[in-house]
Structure 1
Amino acid sequence: MALPRTLILGGARSGKSTRAEQLLAPYRDALYVATGGTRDGDREWAQRVALHRERRPGSWRTAETCDLVPVLADRADRAPVLIDCLALWLTAVMDECGAWDDAAWTGGAERAVQRRCDELAEAWRLTERQVVAVSNEVGMGVVPATAAGRRFRDTLGRLNMAVADASERVLLVVAGQVLTVKPSAG
Structure 2
Amino acid sequence: MLENLTLVLGGASSGKSAFAEQLVTQSGAPRVYIATAQAFDDEMRAKIAAHLDQRGDNWRTMETPLDAADALADVAPNEVALLDCATMWLSNHLLAESNLAAQTDRLLSALATCKGRVVLVSNEVGLDVVPDNALARRFRDAQGKLNQQIAARANLAVLVVAGLPMVLKGTLP
TM-score scaled by length of structure 1? 0.84
Count of matched residue pairs:
169
Q: Shift of residue 162 of structure 1?
A: 0.8
Q: Deviations over 1:31-88 (max 9, x none)?
A: 101100121xx22111111110011131211111131112223365632100100000
Residue by residue over 1:122-176, the C-alpha shift from the partner in whole angstroms, topping out at 9 and shown as x without a partner, is: 2212322110010000001111000110100000111111111111000000111
Task: Report what 2:32 is aligned to.
Answer: 31
TM-score by length of structure 2 reads 0.90
SS in structure 2 at match of 1:4: strand
Letter in 2 for 1:31: V
Of 118, 140, 143 in structure 2, the residue corresponding to residue 156 of structure 1 is 143
The one-letter amino acid paired with 2:17 is: S
SS at match of 1:5: strand
Quote the residue 1:103 is aligned against.
Answer: none
Distance 1:149 1:18, change over 3 A: same
- Counterpart amino acid of 1:114? A
Q: Cα deviation per residue 1:4-55 (whole Å; 9 max; x = unaligned)?
A: 310000000000000000001133621101100121xx22111111110011
Aligned positions of 1:158-177 closer than 5 A? 158-177=145-164
Higher strand share: 2
CA distance in 2, matches of 1:141, 1:122: 29
Computing the radius of gyration from Cα coordinates, the structure with the larger value is: 1
Structural RMSD (CA): 1.9
Could you say if the C-alpha distance between residues 185 and 138 of structure 1 is closer, same or farther in structure 2, counting changes exceeding 3 Å?
closer
- Give the percent of matched residue pairs that are identical in Structure 1 and Structure 2: 40
Mark the runs of 5 or more structure 2 residues left unpaired by the alignment.
Answer: none
Residues in 2 aligned to 1:75 and 1:28: alpha-carbon distance in whole angstroms = 12
